[in-house]
A and B are shown apart, each in its own frame.
Chain A
Amino acid sequence: MEKKKYELCLEVLKRFQKAGILDGLILIGSWSLYFYQYYFSHTDFTPSIRTRDLNFLVPLPSIIRQKTDIPELLKDLGFLLDFRGSKGYIKLQNPDLIVEFLVPERGRGTDKPYKLPNLGVNAQALRFLDFLADNIIKIKIDNMSIIVPHPAAFALHKLIIFKRRTKSEKAEKDKEQALMVIDYLIKTKAEAELKRTFNSMPKKWQNKVLDSLKSLDRLDIITLLG
């Protein structure tokens, strides 16, 4: 099952690359965590539990210029269009993967889907995603360059959002993933990168991170960031 999921994920990424849109997408969520095993390749880093959601962040303004009909591109892989919620967020679903698109939310925000006419889909706008888009790394796999958030940004972002979660289990998962990634950054002597990323955050966000770490009783990380 896991192997099939991974193969399908790679196939989706390959098709995006062939269509010329992969460079304009950032793979976020638990699948980016999966690809961190290549970043922490010299360690025993094992990605934690993940759902089928394959989330792509489209940084705004999007650099994707060519028109690509993503639902059509993935149709023969068995992906079906699904409209979620009363607002109609588009998800492309397959028993092994659910592809979804997100954009950074700005200003007052809206609960309406953000249209991505060049891609033939829409996206959900969420807070704090600009931070992930500003701190990225490229991971090379199978002649592809997959863009994912820097592990430090991934972890700090999780520390900000877990308190905003309505479901306590999701918050628990966020905490677990954030601390796991930070622990590996420390293990691989990448504390400087963690500190640099933390310092690049607005003061308000930094306070949110510190509050979260306090509530998690991780004074060691607070000292490191201080």
Chain B
Amino acid sequence: MAVIKSVLREELQNSIRMKRSYEKALKKLPKGALVARSIKGHKYFYIAERKGVKVAYKYKGKVNDAFINKYAEAKALRAKYRNLLSKVKVQIAFLKGSLRGKKEI
């Protein structure tokens, strides 16, 4: 039993650290999403960012491929990190519950 508890404790500490890391990584990603609008056959870009209940659009104009890729990568990573963050939160709740024993989770 002591071995299992020790493994669970170690895993809980790891998960807590991981939660912090994912929150930090999410903050580091560029905010907003890159949105393209076609006007008279030309593509113009905006950064769409949620501000409370509203979504604000910041004009960026014509951007290069590197800029587009940067936001595409950030979008994919944000989705991935959010998903993993929620997974870590579930793990933390489970591990805390397991270590508490009979008390409610």
A141 CB within 8 Å of chain B: no
B14, B77, B81, B88: most-surrounded residue (chain A CB, <10 A): B14
Verify A168–B11 contact, CB threshold 8 A.
Answer: no
Determine if A93 is an interface residue (Cβ-Cβ < 8 Å). yes
Tell me whether A49 and B84 are in contact in the complex, defined as CB-CB below 8 angstroms, given that A82-B17, A98-B14 are known contacts.
no
Interface residues on B, range: 20 to 34
Asked whether, in the complex, the Cβ of B7 is within 8 Å of the Cβ of A173, the reply is: yes
| A82-B17, A169-B3 given; A51·B10 CB < 8 A | yes
User: Which among B2, B10, B22, B81 is the interface contact of A172 at CB below 8 angstroms?
Assistant: B2
Chain A's interface size range is 10 to 19
| CB-CB under 8 A for A94 and B10, given A49-B3, A80-B22, A173-B3 | no
Tell me the smallest distance from the CB of A178 to a CB of chain B, in Å.
Answer: 13
B6 contacts A95, C-beta separation under 8 Å: no
Chain B interface secondary structure, helix, strand, loop or mixed? helix
A76–B25 CB distance below 8 A:
no
Nearest neighbor of B91 in chain A, beta-carbon distance: A95
Q: What 0/1 readout, one digit per residue, does chain B (75-90) give for beta carbons within 8 Å of chain A? A: 0110011011001100
Q: A49-B7, A172-B2 are in contact. Are A93 and B14 (CB under 8 A)?
A: yes
Q: Check B2 against A93 for contact (C-beta < 8 Å).
A: no
A167 within 8 A of B: yes
Known A95-B18, A169-B2; judge A76-B88 contact (CB<8 A): no
Residue of A49, A75, A93 near B18 (CB, 8 A) is: A93
Q: Of A49, A82, A95, A170, which contacts B88 at CB under 8 A?
A: A95
With a cutoff of 8 Å between Cβ atoms, the chain B residues found around residue A176 in the complex are: 3
Knowing A49-B4, A169-B6, the reply to whether A76 touches B80 (Cβ < 8 A) is yes
On whether the beta carbons of A167 and B6 are closer than 8 Å, the reply is yes
A interface, CB within 8 angstroms of B:
49, 51-52, 75-76, 78, 80, 82, 93-95, 98, 167-170, 172-173, 176
Q: A80-B25, A93-B18, A168-B2 are in contact. List 9 more A-B contacts (CB 8 A).
A: A49-B7, A51-B7, A51-B10, A78-B80, A80-B21, A80-B22, A93-B14, A169-B6, A172-B2
